[in-house]
């Protein structure tokens, strides 16, 4: 059967997580995803926004990653795709005024193809006139527009709320992603096998934003039980993240990312309770590699032969733990020194999204490699998505 093809409708200042998590998760599951924006072509960039609640009366906004489009809006047609995904953020405000966008959405709706829209994305659905008598949820501030457009409003009791009405999947915020993506995969005719796995994420302050959230929610969407821990922090506490991007300088830039909420206590973690370990990159690994309890935990996973997946600077921890000896692996290029001194055989990440598996070890160089990174971890765990 031909691979499923999905269209991702982008715009400047769409929410950072709400575009990248579905984009990379779906690719990891074997779905082809075309990301387009009106007035832009393949290779152009959309700026994104980091939105989160930090105690004020509405969400805050800071600059997100730059998102690279991989298709041209003027060259796509609705009949070339099996489904449509619409991220939220501020982009939908202006996309909802574009007649070409609205016509595209109507064509997906008329063909009864799955449409998955999150947060403020539902502004576009309302403008396209496809929510009449349809039950929808959204970010609460979108309620008046949806009601005026004839939708049946489904109040989000939590920001992880999802609602399904026929071919329409709507969600409140990026907290909804695990269910949102799972429902969309199901609507595309997908089924998941082998996902009854427990996976541990080793987190720290200023880990890279995408490198924790994309694999975390991608694995949750498959049905895995995923826990995130950080030394000296408990369940419900937060880790600030760093947003690393490539913007023409000699090294990556850094901006503040989302705050990431931990789900378990580090002190109570036992490797024997989990099937795999994931270590995000960013700046956290350089100090986590100094923590004896972290090193002991990593060695325990390695000694038991359990899958370990690390990306970017995460391999600094593997090197410090002495588990790279005799292993072939990659990492962010600046971490080559750690890999070689740790006894590993260096594999050049060319291109930067290249990932490698050697035995129980999956390594990647940077967040553009997430589709391969998650897919290779799925293969080690025996998780399959079929359409």
Question: For the segment 296-310, what is each residue's pLDDT rounded down to a tens digit?
Answer: 999 999 999 999 999
Cβ proximity of 354 and 329 under 8 Å: no
Which tens digits make up the pLDDT trace of 184-238? 999 999 999 999 999 999 999 999 999 999 999 999 999 999 999 999 999 999 9
Mean pLDDT of 9-32: 98
Confidence of residue 150 (pLDDT cuts 50, 70, 90): very high
What are the φ/ψ torsions at residue 57 (nearest 5 degrees)? -75, -20
Cβ proximity of 161 and 172 under 8 Å: yes
* Chain centre distance of CA 69: 16
* Cβ count near 371 (within 10 Å): 23
370, pLDDT greater than 90: yes
Mean pLDDT of 165-181: 98
For residue 217, the cross-strand partners are none
Residues 6 or more apart from 202 whose CB is under 8 A from it? 229, 230, 277, 278, 279, 280, 288, 294, 297, 298, 317
State the pLDDT at residue 167. 98
Q: Class assignment of domain 193-386? A: alpha beta
Mean pLDDT of 323-336: 98
Active site residues: 119-120, 312-313
Length of the chain: 387
Residues of the chain with CATH 3.40.50.880: 5-189, 193-386
Cα distances from 135 to residues 21, 107, 147, 153, in angstroms, run: 25, 20, 10, 6
What are the φ/ψ torsions at residue 104 (nearest 5 degrees)? -60, -45
Report d(CA 216, CA 249) in Å as an integer. 29
Confidence of residue 242 (pLDDT cuts 50, 70, 90): very high
288, pLDDT greater than 90: yes
Mean pLDDT of 314-328: 98
Nearest Cα neighbor of 261 from 125, 377, 159 is 159
* Phi-psi domain of 302 (left: phi exceeds 0; alpha: psi -120 through 50; beta: other): alpha
Cα distances from 258 to residues 134, 175, 335, in angstroms, run: 32, 12, 25
Which tens digits make up the pLDDT trace of 71-87? 999 999 999 999 999 99
Q: Which CATH number fits domain 5-189: 3.40.50.880, 3.40.630.30, 1.20.1560.10, 3.10.180.10?
A: 3.40.50.880
Confidence of residue 122 (pLDDT cuts 50, 70, 90): very high
Confidence of residue 2 (pLDDT cuts 50, 70, 90): confident
State the pLDDT at residue 1. 61
Entry pTM: 0.98
The radius of gyration of the chain from alpha carbons, rounded to an integer in Å, stands at 21
Query: Is 232 exposed, middle or buried (CB count within 10 Å of its CB: 0-12, 13-18, 19+)?
Result: exposed
């Amino acid at each position: 059967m031909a691979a499923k093809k999905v269209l991702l409708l982008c715009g400047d200042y769409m929410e950072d997580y709400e575009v990248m998590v579905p984009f990379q998760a779906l690719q990891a599951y074997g779905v082809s995803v075309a990301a387009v924006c009106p007035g832009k072509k393949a290779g152009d960039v959309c700026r994104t926004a980091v939105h989160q609640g930090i105690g004020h009366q509405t969400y805050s906004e800071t600059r997100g990653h730059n998102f690279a489009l991989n298709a041209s809006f003027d060259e796509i047609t609705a009949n070339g795709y099996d489904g449509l995904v619409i991220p939220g953020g501020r982009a939908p405000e202006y996309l909802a005024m574009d007649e070409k966008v609205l016509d595209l959405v109507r064509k997906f709706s008329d063909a009864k193809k799955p449409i998955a829209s999150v947060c403020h994305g539902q502004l576009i659905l309302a403008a396209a006139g496809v929510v009449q008598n349809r039950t929808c949820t959204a970010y609460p501030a979108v309620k008046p527009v949806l009601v005026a457009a004839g939708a049946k409003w489904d109040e989000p009791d939590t920001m992880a709320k999802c609602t399904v009405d026929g071919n329409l999947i709507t969600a409140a915020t990026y907290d909804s992603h695990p269910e949102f993506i799972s429902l969309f995969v199901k609507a595309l005719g997908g089924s998941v096998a082998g996902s009854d796995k427990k996976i541990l994420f080793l987190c720290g302050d200023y880990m890279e934003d995408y490198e924790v959230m994309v694999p975390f929610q991608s694995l949750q969407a498959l049905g895995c039980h995923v826990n995130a821990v950080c030394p000296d922090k408990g369940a419900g506490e937060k880790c600030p993240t760093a947003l690393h991007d490539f913007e023409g300088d000699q090294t990556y830039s850094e901006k503040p990312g989302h705050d990431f909420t931990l789900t378990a206590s580090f002190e109570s973690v036992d490797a024997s309770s989990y099937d795999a370990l994931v270590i995000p990159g960013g700046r956290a690994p350089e100090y986590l590699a100094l923590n004896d309890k972290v090193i002991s935990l990593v060695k325990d996973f390695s000694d038991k032969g359990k899958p370990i997946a690390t990306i970017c600077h995460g391999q600094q921890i593997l090197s410090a733990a002495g588990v790279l000896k005799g292993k072939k692996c990659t990492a962010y290029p600046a971490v080559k020194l750690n890999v070689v001194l740790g006894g590993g055989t260096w594999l050049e990440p060319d291109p930067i999204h290249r990932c490698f598996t050697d035995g129980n070890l999956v390594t990647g160089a940077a967040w553009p490699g997430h589709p391969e990174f998650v897919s290779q971890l799925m293969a080690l765990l025996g998780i399959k998505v079929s359409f």
